């Protein structure tokens, strides 16, 4: 009887491991399409899917990666706000744990991407717009029209990006509450 139970436990454990490994592999592939290092995405997937706080050595062993790669990726994941350093009583090692709430994780990723990618572009758009405002009224009629048109397009792009950011803040950052508000608004509109 005990042998049968042990065999059943082993089979479940193997299926669990295969399921986790498949998720980790696919999350790593998906991360690459988002412009994230594959190893970094796989480490995040490991920490998320297991729900455990792991040390660097545990991560290295499970994913068969170097210490340098593990350390660099863990540090980057902490900077993104989707992995946190945790302390285990009586342990000298540093442990890492994924944010467990999907909404918090998604919000952190989008906020960090906005900070890294959208904010710099928005600042450039503002600078370009201000440069053209300083030139208003100068040059030939043809040049003045080109300045006006370019300025208008920059204003429209800036407005669009600002509105998109507000929508993001309202519905994504607020997590489930924000999604509920969005659903209510859509139902009223229909």
Here the CATH number for the domain that contains residue 62 is 1.10.10.10
Q: Which of 72, 100, 128 is the last residue of a domain?
A: 100
pTM of the model: 0.75
Q: Are 125 and 143 in a shared domain?
A: yes
The secondary structure of the chain in percent helix, strand, coil, rounded to multiples of 5, reads: 80, 5, 15
Q: Are 42 and 58 in a shared domain?
A: yes
Confidence of residue 173 (pLDDT cuts 50, 70, 90): low
Place of tokens 């489930």: 176
Overall number of domains in the chain: 2
Tokens of 9: 């436990």
Q: What is the pLDDT of residues 149-162, one digit of tens each?
A: 999 999 999 999 98
pLDDT of residue 4: 64
Q: Are 5 and 78 in a shared domain?
A: yes
Place of tokens 């100068």: 138
Q: Are 76 and 144 in a shared domain?
A: no
Residue 86 domain boundaries: 1-100
b/e code 97-136 from CB counts within 10 Å (16+ = b): bbbeeebebebbbebeebeeeeeeebeebeebbeebeeee
Query: Of 3-7, 22-26, 53-57, 133-137, where does mean pLDDT reach its minimum?
Result: 3-7
Q: Is the pLDDT of residue 43 over 90?
A: yes
In degrees and rounded to multiples of 5, residue 55 shows phi and psi of -90, 170
Q: Which of 68, 100, 132 is the last residue of a domain?
A: 100
For 105, residues 6+ apart whose C-beta sits below 8 A from its C-beta are 48, 82, 98, 99
In degrees and rounded to multiples of 5, residue 170 shows phi and psi of -70, -40
Q: Which of 100, 131, 150 is the last residue of a domain?
A: 100
């Amino acid at each position: 009887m005990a042998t049968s139970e042990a065999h059943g436990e082993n089979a479940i454990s193997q299926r669990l491991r295969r399921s986790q490994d498949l998720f980790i592999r696919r999350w790593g592939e998906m991360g690459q399409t988002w412009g994230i290092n594959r190893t970094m995405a796989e480490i995040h997937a490991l920490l998320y899917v297991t729900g455990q706080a792991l040390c660097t050595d545990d991560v290295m062993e499970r994913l068969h990666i170097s210490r340098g790669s593990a350390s660099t990726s863990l540090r980057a994941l902490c900077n993104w706000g989707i992995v946190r350093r945790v302390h285990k009583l009586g342990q000298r090692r540093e442990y890492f744990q994924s944010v467990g709430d999907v909404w918090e994780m998604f919000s952190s990723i989008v906020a960090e991407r906005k900070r890294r990618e959208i904010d710099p572009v928005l600042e450039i758009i503002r600078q370009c717009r201000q440069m053209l405002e300083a030139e208003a009224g100068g040059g030939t009629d043809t040049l003045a029209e080109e300045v006006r048109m370019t300025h208008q397009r920059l204003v429209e792009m800036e407005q669009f990006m600002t509105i998109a950011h507000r929508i993001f803040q309202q519905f994504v950052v607020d997590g489930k509450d924000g999604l509920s508000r969005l659903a209510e608004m859509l139902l009223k509109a229909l």
